[in-house]
Amino acid sequence: MPYLVALLLHCLPLAMGQYDICKSWVTTDDGPSWEFYACQPKAMRMKDYVTVRVDPAGITCGDPPERFCTHENPYLCSDECDASNPDLAHPPKLMFDTEDEGLATYWQSVTWRRYPEPLLANITLSWNKSIELTDDIVITFEYGRPTIMMLEKSLDNGRTWHPYQYYADDCMEAFSMPARRVRDLSTTSANRVLCTEEYSRWAGSKKEKNVRFEVRDRFAIFAGPDLKNMDNLYTRLESAKGLKDFFTVTDLRMRLLRPALGGTYVQRENLYKYFYAVSNIEVTGRCKCNLHANLCTFREGSLQCECEHNTTGQDCGKCKKNFRSRSWRAGSYLPLPNGSPNACAAAGSAFGNCECYGHSNRCSYIDFLNVVTCVSCKHNTRGQHCQHCRLGFYRNSSAELDDENVCIECNCNQIGSVHDRCNETGYCECKEGATGPKCDDCLPNYYWRQGCFPNVCDDELLLCQNGGTCYQNQRCLCPAGFKGVLCQQSRCDADRKDCDGAPGARPGLGPLLLGALALQLPGWVDL
Ligand SMILES: *[C@@H]1O[C@H](CO)[C@@H](O)[C@H](O)[C@H]1NC(C)=O
Ligand SMILES: *[C@@H]1O[C@H](CO)[C@@H](O)[C@H](O)[C@H]1NC(C)=O
Ligand SMILES: *[C@@H]1O[C@H](CO)[C@@H](O)[C@H](O)[C@H]1NC(C)=O
Ligand SMILES: *[C@@H]1O[C@H](CO)[C@@H](O)[C@H](O)[C@H]1NC(C)=O
Ligand SMILES: *[C@@H]1O[C@H](CO)[C@@H](O)[C@H](O)[C@H]1NC(C)=O
Ligand SMILES: [Ca+2]
């Protein structure tokens, strides 16, 4: 019973119902209408929606069956793990079930029989949805907490990972970090990643089972010890850079690096008492919906915000189609107590009739032209309504005008094209000899070398004379005894000793072609 009361008190401030409605029907002087507020879903037990992965393969005990003992009973190794027997198996899902009174169910690793090779295990939790932590992460270990472990988080569904907290019985030795406590952090360091020794020391496996990531202690830096001043916390979350993101995750990973040692050094003669056993991982948080939803539902295997304010997306992270007259913005906790919805607006409704297709949040009236025009068009757009693409960009024909991808960069080849602009289908204007949409190719009879140049020779047309061969259309490789651009000139002219045996052939080309070549090759006059 005392436990239950404590739990209720514990949950109270976070369940207090701030920002829990998105809109209400109100009556004003102009008649009834909707009023909109910033809103967020309730905090939930996130372990109910998680997928788990345990690495490396073969780290879960029981295949083959294995005996183990405990630190309390090191010489009574009668406990058995057997994956093929439901009563003796310890699969990962037992970290997320509901515990019956007094009877813990747990995932268990193999024992440290490969000592001194380290006993390493990763437990990765994925939600495929960004969630905001609202309470401590609590990991419960049976048979002792690891002497070294690390918590990591991802914000992008596991593509990149960042350290979240380090845990060791000796932080300096394990991570070369000084030991710190979250309680000692200040308002400016509330999102610091630190190493703590509080949850790794041996205190008997029954007495101290939990390893925490302290969300509450961090909130308390702003909201006071009982989290009474949540307004201050919300103000800080809104204004302090990176603070909101610090409490946001899509995935968590526990890296277990060294098991409990029972308060002493590793005893090689009995390695069956070293292993990891996790009975519960409690993660409390809410779906991140950018303050545009107060409901989050589990559909098709994923959490999904039920977006209001004419927003859409898994996190309500963009405006609905036809509601993009200004750019999307997250709702704000400020001003207190109801915040700002920053709702998406229907095209044409935002600023009289100045439509900016969602590429600008501002319009301005230009007095001497008597027009209202969008200011600072984003997404490479320009124009009174941000309806054109900037120079060097062209319209994506498969995108709506209010799409962020509506303007595509021309990407004209700098050498091959006349300038960096292109026509409506993305074609650049090419210099002589260049071709292709981006002018990065050469027309036939031209070769590429920092631009397109007309071919000097061509093997097919046999332009190189006297047995010369054409090298990359750029020049003729002449046999000994001949020189000139097309090997047309006998070396005899310059050096009479070489003349013997040189074929006296003269060019066999028709006068027409020779005339053309002469035009192309101004240096070549010796016919
Ligand atoms: C655990 O994950 C980390 C990356 O976060 C990886 O470098 C390491 O190899 C993994 N360890 C195991 C035992 O799979
Ligand atoms: C993740 O969520 C998105 C959006 O709801 C969904 O399209 C996708 O299939 C999900 N992926 C997995 C692996 O569940
Ligand atoms: C969203 O659009 C609907 C019209 O489809 C409108 O009635 C409603 O007021 C809009 N909501 C907000 C928050 O702008
Ligand atoms: C054009 O717009 C569509 C729709 O938004 C998008 O899927 C596509 O990637 C865009 N094309 C380019 C080349 O950016
Ligand atoms: C753009 O230029 C290409 C190549 O010159 C041409 O085929 C295409 O029709 C042009 N598109 C438009 C819309 O003018
Ligand atoms: Ca359990």
CB of residue 165 inside a 6 A radius of ligand 2? no
Please give the distance, rounded to the nearest whole angstrom, from the Cα atom of residue 297 to the centre of ligand 2. Answer: 13
Closest by Cα among 526, 485, 52, 68 to 283: 52
- Ligand 3: nearest atom to the Cα of 343: 13
Closest by Cα among 507, 473, 511, 475 to 490: 507
The neighbouring-strand residues paired with 67 are 80
pLDDT of residue 504: 43
Mutate to test the pocket of ligand 4, among 405, 407, 408, 424 (most ligand atoms within 8 A of CB): 405
Closest by Cα among 448, 414, 411 to 433: 448
Closest ligand by atom to 296 CA: 2
Q: Work out the burial of residue 229: count CB atoms within 10 Å of its CB; fewer than 13 is exposed, 13-18 middle, 19 or more buried.
A: middle
Mutate to test the pocket of ligand 1, among 114, 255, 258, 276 (most ligand atoms within 8 A of CB): 255
Mutate to test the pocket of ligand 3, among 21, 22, 25, 34 (most ligand atoms within 8 A of CB): 34
Residue nearest to atom 6 of ligand 1 (CA): 122
pLDDT of residue 55: 97
CB of residue 488 inside a 6 A radius of ligand 2? no
CB of residue 8 inside a 6 A radius of ligand 4? no
Please give the distance, rounded to the nearest whole angstrom, from the Cα atom of residue 89 to the centre of ligand 1. Answer: 24
pLDDT of residue 499: 56
Please give the distance, rounded to the nearest whole angstrom, from the Cα atom of residue 428 to the centre of ligand 5. Answer: 9
Residue nearest to atom 11 of ligand 1 (CA): 122
| Residue reference for tokens 């037992």 | 94
CB of residue 415 inside a 6 A radius of ligand 4? no
- The token pair at 106 is 């747990």
Q: Work out the burial of residue 28: count CB atoms within 10 Å of its CB; fewer than 13 is exposed, 13-18 middle, 19 or more buried.
A: exposed
Within 382-510, residue ranges assigned H as helices are: none
Q: What's the rounded Cα separation, in Å, for the pair 361 and 329?
A: 10
Mutate to test the pocket of ligand 5, among 389, 421, 424, 427 (most ligand atoms within 8 A of CB): 427
pLDDT of residue 496: 55
Mutate to test the pocket of ligand 5, among 397, 423, 438 (most ligand atoms within 8 A of CB): 423
Residue nearest to atom 1 of ligand 2 (CA): 128
Based on DSSP, count helices (H) and strands (E) in the chain, helices before strands: 6, 36
Instruction: State how far the alpha carbon of 231 is from the alpha carbons of 36, 222, 295, 383, in Å.
Output: 19, 9, 22, 42
- Ligand 2: nearest atom to the Cα of 303: 5
pLDDT of residue 509: 42
- Ligand 3: nearest atom to the Cα of 23: 13
Closest by Cα among 189, 188, 118 to 147: 118
CB of residue 253 inside a 6 A radius of ligand 1? yes
- Ligand 4: nearest atom to the Cα of 403: 5
Q: Which residues of the chain have pLDDT under 50?
A: 1-16, 349-352, 501-527
Mutate to test the pocket of ligand 1, among 54, 60, 122, 149 (most ligand atoms within 8 A of CB): 122
Please give the distance, rounded to the nearest whole angstrom, from the Cα atom of residue 83 to the centre of ligand 1. Answer: 24
- Ligand 1: nearest atom to the Cα of 152: 5
Side chain identity, residue 44: M
Contact residues of ligand 3, CB 6 A cut-off: 34, 36, 309-310, 343, 346
Per-residue pLDDT tens digits for 420-460: 999 999 999 999 999 999 999 999 989 988 899 998 888 77
Q: Work out the burial of residue 294: count CB atoms within 10 Å of its CB; fewer than 13 is exposed, 13-18 middle, 19 or more buried.
A: buried
CB of residue 396 inside a 6 A radius of ligand 4? yes
Residue nearest to atom 4 of ligand 2 (CA): 314
Closest ligand by atom to 427 CA: 5
- The token pair at 471 is 């090298």
CB of residue 159 inside a 6 A radius of ligand 1? no
Q: What's the rounded Cα separation, in Å, for the pair 18 and 223?
A: 14
Instruction: State how far the alpha carbon of 314 is from the alpha carbons of 46, 125, 128, 397, 505, in Å.
Output: 16, 19, 10, 26, 79
pLDDT of residue 493: 63
CB of residue 397 inside a 6 A radius of ligand 5? no
CB of residue 314 inside a 6 A radius of ligand 2? yes
User: Which are the contacts of 202, defined by CB distance < 8 A and separation ≥ 6?
Assistant: 144, 147, 169, 260, 261, 262, 263
Please give the distance, rounded to the nearest whole angstrom, from the Cα atom of residue 135 to the centre of ligand 1. Answer: 26
Please give the distance, rounded to the nearest whole angstrom, from the Cα atom of residue 432 to the centre of ligand 5. Answer: 17
CB of residue 425 inside a 6 A radius of ligand 5? yes
Chain mean position to CA 187: 28
Closest ligand by atom to 403 CA: 4
Q: What's the rounded Cα separation, in Å, for the pair 393 and 381?
A: 9
- Ligand 5: nearest atom to the Cα of 426: 1
